[in-house]
Amino acid sequence: MTNAPVPKPWIMEIAPYIPGRSTTDDGRKVAKLSSNENPLGTSPKAREAFASAATSLERYPDASATELRDTLAAKHGLDPARIIYGNGSDEVLHLAAGAFAGPGDEVIYVNYGFSVYPIATRRVGATPVVAPDKDYATDVDAILAAVTDRTRIVFIANPNNPTGTYAPRGEIERLHAGLRPDILLVIDHAYAEYIDGGDDDGGMALAQNAPNVLVTRTFSKMYGLAAERIGWGYAAPAIIEAMHRIRLPFSITIAGTAAAVAALGDTDFVASTRDHNAQWRAWFADEIAKLGNAGLRAIPSQANFILVLFEGELTAETAYKGLMDAGYIVRWLPGQGLPHGLRITIGTAEETQGVIAALRRMAGA
Ligand SMILES: *Cc1c(COP(=O)(O)O)cnc(C)c1O
């Protein structure tokens, strides 16, 4: 007998999620380029809808999120009955793990994958299996080689976070074709809106047609609504039905839902965010390439951030601290096997140019 409640052993194996920072070591507020938020803010229409929702705070939200599902379905050509929603797509990822994996089961994700996957996996007592990457990108063959009789879920983010890498449609289809039909393939589309030229990895078509594919999406990035925690997913009816059984009944709020619905209607805001990101992501990558002599390298990104590797004299840790001194917080990820990398969100024009100027100074260029 012990004299205090004992957490489950698999819970104590979870390394807590580390959020992006917004202040420096000495408490200064600086440009936050550590959480892949939208540097252009939020659609004014979404902000207006959010403010108008302040009238009936005593009411519970609509537990079936009918307006949100109908608006999403109309916009994306989907069946509203097959949409699940949650407190950010993080909740939807947890619902997938909770409904389809448990003790004795294995869950696969890639090396340098999104940090929520190990947490969602261990939380339900399942065993994480990490598939090796191919120069920081998703390696379909390595994932397929990691499959065993115990595999229940494969999580991939496409584009991936923190690497920004993108697996094209052929690779996603090959991955799906190589998995047993009883394995749930979760394709996390948190950054799908940022892919060059509106390219599509075919994930949503698989979720439409296959019985074992869940696509997750979020309002936190392109739609600039990270504060309001609205995410959603799409899959076959049986997948969605299982996830609904363990969903918190009221995990998305009335104001957040109103903002999300309005944001879907503001195509100008989305287009300007996409253009801004494409322009400055390309510029940023070009500028990092010019620092190649100093050992800096940008991993090709299709997201709203770039992973910069420091393989010369200037280390990622030194650059991280130097950027903080210069007024920019970025993401240093030693806990994710990337002590030599910084993940830098594409900010405003001024921020993006400021980061490059600081890196050039530190690299002696
Ligand atoms: C940001 C992000 C999410 C979205 O998180 P929310 O809970 O919807 O805010 C999901 N997956 C990846 C890979 C992300 O980077």
Give Cα separations from 79 to 65, 66, 99, 108, 209 (angstroms). Answer: 14, 12, 21, 28, 12
Q: Whose CA is nearest to atom 11 of ligand 1?
A: 190
pLDDT more than 70, % of the chain? 100
> Do 295 and 197 sit in the same domain of this protein?
no
- pLDDT tens digits for range 155-209: 999 999 999 999 999 999 999 999 999 999 999 999 999 999 889 999 999 999 9
**At which of 266, 286, 307 does a domain end?**
266
* Whether the CB of 231 sits within 6 Å of ligand 1: yes
Tally of structural domains, the chain: 2
Looking at residue 77, which CATH number applies to its domain? 3.40.640.10
Beta strands per DSSP E along the chain = 31-32, 83-87, 106-110, 127-131, 151-157, 184-188, 213-218, 230-234, 296-298, 305-310, 328-329, 331-333, 338-345
- pLDDT tens digits for range 281-290: 999 999 999 9
**Atom in ligand 1 nearest the alpha carbon of residue 36:** 1
User: In this structure, are residues 51 and 256 in contact, taking their beta carbons and an 8 Å threshold?
Assistant: no
Q: Report yes or no on 258 lying in a domain.
A: yes
**At which of 233, 266, 299 does a domain end?**
266
- Distance, CA 26 to ligand 1 centroid (Å)? 28
- Distance, CA 4 to ligand 1 centroid (Å)? 35
d(CA 17, CA 115) in angstroms, rounded, equals: 7
Q: Report yes or no on 3 lying in a domain.
A: no
> Do 36 and 146 sit in the same domain of this protein?
no
**At which of 266, 283, 306 does a domain end?**
266
- pLDDT tens digits for range 213-222: 999 999 999 9
> Do 61 and 208 sit in the same domain of this protein?
yes
Tell me how far the alpha carbon of residue 360 is from its chain's centroid: 29
Q: Report yes or no on 272 lying in a domain.
A: yes
Who contacts 359 (Cβ-Cβ below 8 Å, separation ≥6)? 288, 291, 296, 308, 319, 323
Q: Say whether pLDDT at 240 is over 70.
A: yes
- Token pair of 87 as six digits: 């407190």
> Do 297 and 320 sit in the same domain of this protein?
yes
> Do 213 and 310 sit in the same domain of this protein?
no
What are the φ and ψ backbone dihedral angles of 83, each rounded to 5 degrees? -105, 125
3-state secondary structure of 185: strand
Q: Say whether pLDDT at 27 is over 70.
A: yes
d(CA 249, CA 2) in angstroms, rounded, equals: 35
- Distance, CA 231 to ligand 1 centroid (Å)? 8
- Residue 25: pLDDT band (50, 70, 90) is confident
d(CA 131, CA 108) in angstroms, rounded, equals: 7
> Do 237 and 350 sit in the same domain of this protein?
no
Q: Whose CA is nearest to atom 12 of ligand 1?
A: 190
* Whether the CB of 192 sits within 6 Å of ligand 1: no
* Mean pLDDT of all residues belonging to the chain: 96
* Whether the CB of 106 sits within 6 Å of ligand 1: no
- Distance, CA 156 to ligand 1 centroid (Å)? 12
Instruction: Name the nearest CA neighbour of 190 among 113, 295, 300, 297.
Output: 113
| R_g over Cα of the chain | 21
**Atom in ligand 1 nearest the alpha carbon of residue 231:** 8
Q: Report yes or no on 1 lying in a domain.
A: no
> Do 221 and 274 sit in the same domain of this protein?
no
User: In this structure, are residues 211 and 181 in contact, taking their beta carbons and an 8 Å threshold?
Assistant: yes
> Do 316 and 225 sit in the same domain of this protein?
no
> Do 198 and 258 sit in the same domain of this protein?
yes
* Whether the CB of 157 sits within 6 Å of ligand 1: yes
Q: Report yes or no on 4 lying in a domain.
A: no
> Do 137 and 37 sit in the same domain of this protein?
no
Looking at residue 333, which CATH number applies to its domain? 3.90.1150.10
* Whether the CB of 187 sits within 6 Å of ligand 1: no
> Do 29 and 160 sit in the same domain of this protein?
no
User: In this structure, are residues 223 and 46 in contact, taking their beta carbons and an 8 Å threshold?
Assistant: yes
Q: Report yes or no on 358 lying in a domain.
A: yes
Q: Report yes or no on 336 lying in a domain.
A: yes
> Do 76 and 147 sit in the same domain of this protein?
yes
Instruction: Name the nearest CA neighbour of 217 among 188, 237, 194.
Output: 188
Q: Report yes or no on 229 lying in a domain.
A: yes
* Whether the CB of 161 sits within 6 Å of ligand 1: yes
d(CA 207, CA 216) in angstroms, rounded, equals: 10
d(CA 237, CA 112) in angstroms, rounded, equals: 31
User: In this structure, are residues 346 and 277 in contact, taking their beta carbons and an 8 Å threshold?
Assistant: yes
- pLDDT tens digits for range 256-314: 999 999 999 999 999 999 999 999 999 999 999 999 999 999 999 999 999 999 999 99
Pocket test for ligand 1, best of 114, 160, 302 (most atoms within 8 A of CB): 114
What's the whole-number mean pLDDT along residues 38-55?
96
Q: Say whether pLDDT at 134 is over 80.
A: yes
* Whether the CB of 218 sits within 6 Å of ligand 1: yes
Question: Which residue range(s) make up the domain with 331?
Answer: 9-41+268-363
